[in-house]
Amino acid sequence: MPGKKDAVLYILQYLYRNTDDNHGVTNYEIMDFLRKKGIVLNERSILPNINTINECFEDSPYIDIQSFFEGGKKTYRLLSRPIEATEAEMIASALDTVKSFGKNDIINLKTKLYSLLSTYEFKEIIPALSTKTKKKDRTVGAGISWKLEVINRAIADGLMIRVIYDNKGELEERQISPYKLHTSVDGIYVLGKCSQHKTDISRFRVDRIAEINLEKTRAVPCANPQELYDMINLSKDMSFGERGTAVFVFTKQVERVVFDRYGKELTVHKLADGRMKISVEEYLSDTLLGWIFSLGNEIEVIGNRTLLNMMKERVAKWSKKLGAQ
């Protein structure tokens, strides 16, 4: 349980997320944040903690907390950061052009990059806080990288997200307090409390989110951490197998099935024979093998030796069983 000695670290965290050159927070807002963390401080204790932070980082150009008076209230702002919003925007754009990086690597790097900004700066460098598209263009999997960035930011800042979710073809609005992103064999899920559901924790597949917005409303704290832990570990106990890059060639007949699994953001190479080729990060598991075999001759695995060997082993095993019968 955090104590008063931890207050200085939590204050720095709060200022880092919620202030910048143009936005400040009051003593009461800091005290309210600390109280939610289980730390009770009076108003006179805030300034000494802030002075401690400035003294600790006296030789650093990246931490400088100053006080201001706004509307008759004293506020604090963190004025220096390791990176400016415009620099973060430039680096993020450059990452999208690096072909040697995988999609997950780029998402992880962008998440770390955006974590250096305040919530206000994060919103400013994105033209719009949603992946809104025309109705006819609302396709499963559109803008998944951006969705993951918004969800990661919401989790880090303890904020709600508002989404339009594709529930079996019906677009429904949901307000979610996100707790965890979890990768399963059939996709990436956000686990959290949905305002429209009675259950403590619900699962939403990220590639079925048609629109997403980062809300200013504070997220509802997880009422059942054990249930969240159990949901994550139940999936981990399943036989996922190792993770690797799989290369598939498939026909137009199963194009929709493939895009439904991996999203529309795939880099697709069209071959001379009319088929399409993709490279994806996957769990090399029995579940994946079952999906591949279900598509029959419409799909071919041409990459990942481990996956090809797994397929040969399963075929040999099934042939032996059939021969025994």
pLDDT per residue as tens digits for the range 242-286: 678 899 999 999 888 888 777 766 789 999 999 999 998 877 777
190 and 250 housed in the same domain: no
Instruction: Clarify whether residues 147 and 209 are in a common domain.
Output: yes
Yes or no: say if 223 and 207 are a contact pair by the CB < 8 Å rule: no
Say whether both 230 and 174 belong to one domain. Answer: yes
* CATH number of the domain enclosing 186: 2.30.30.520
Looking from the CA of 216 toward its CB, the CA atoms found within 13 Å total 3
Dihedral sign computed on CA atoms, order 111, 197, 143, 271: positive
The DSSP letter of residue 223 is S
Domain count, the chain: 3
Q: Which token pair is 286?
A: 């029995």
Q: Which amino acid is at 48?
A: P
Decide if 104 is inside a domain.
no
pLDDT at 138 over 90: no
Out of 236, 264, 281, pick the residue that ends a domain: 236
| Cα(128)–Cα(188) distance, integer angstroms | 23
Report yes or no: 255 and 268 within 8 Å, Cβ to Cβ: no
Instruction: Indicate whether 206 and 276 sit together in one domain.
Output: no
User: Structural domain of residue 287, as residue ranges?
Assistant: 243-324
Assess whether pLDDT exceeds 80 at residue 108: no
In a domain, 263, yes or no: yes
Where is average pLDDT lowest: 105-119, 129-143, 181-195?
129-143
Closest CA to 180 of 210, 165, 200, 208: 200
Q: What CA–CA distance (Å, rounded) separates 77 from 146?
A: 28
Nearest in space to 129 (alpha carbons), one of 39, 30, 213: 213
Q: Looking at the structure, do residues 270 and 184 belong to the same domain, yes or no?
A: no
Q: Residue 318: inside a domain, yes or no?
A: yes
Which two structure tokens, joined as six digits, stand for 279?
Answer: 């490279």
- Asked if residue 148 and residue 164 are part of one domain, the reply reads yes
Residue 141: per-residue pLDDT: 39
pLDDT band at 132 (very low <50, low <70, confident <90, very high): very low
pLDDT band at 185 (very low <50, low <70, confident <90, very high): low
- Over residues 288-314, the pLDDT tens digits come to 887 888 888 999 999 888 889 888 888
Based on the fold, state whether residues 192 and 249 are members of the same structural domain.
Answer: no
Distance CA 297, CA 305 (A): 19
Are residue 171 and residue 266 in the same domain, yes or no?
no
pTM of this structure: 0.49
106 occurs within a structural domain:
no
Residue 115 within a domain: no
Look at residue 144 and tell me if it is in a domain: yes
CA separation, residue 171 to residues 135, 210, 222, 264, 310 (Å): 10, 8, 26, 18, 38
Q: Of 15, 49, 78, which one is at a domain's C-terminal end?
A: 78
Is there a single domain that holds both residue 224 and residue 269? no
Average pLDDT score, the chain: 80
- pLDDT for the residue numbered 140: 37
Query: If DSSP codes are grouped into helix, strand and coil, which group holds residue 161?
Result: strand
Domain presence at residue 48: yes
221 shares a domain with 184:
yes
Kindly report, residue by residue over 5-36, the tens digit of the pLDDT.
889 999 998 898 889 888 899 999 999 989 88
107 inside domain = no
CATH of the domain at 311: 3.30.70
Both 62 and 142 in a single domain?
A: no
pLDDT category of residue 1 using cuts at 50, 70 and 90: low
Is 171 found in the same domain as 266? no
Q: How does pLDDT run across 199-238, given as a tens digit for each residue?
A: 888 889 888 888 888 888 889 888 888 877 777 665 544 4
| 218 alpha-carbon distance from chain centroid | 17
Q: Considering 217, 236, 255, which residue would you say is the last residue of a domain? A: 236
Could you tell me where the beta strands, DSSP code E, fall in the chain?
25-26, 65-70, 73-78, 159-167, 170-184, 187-194, 202-205, 209-218, 243-250, 269-270, 276-283, 299-303
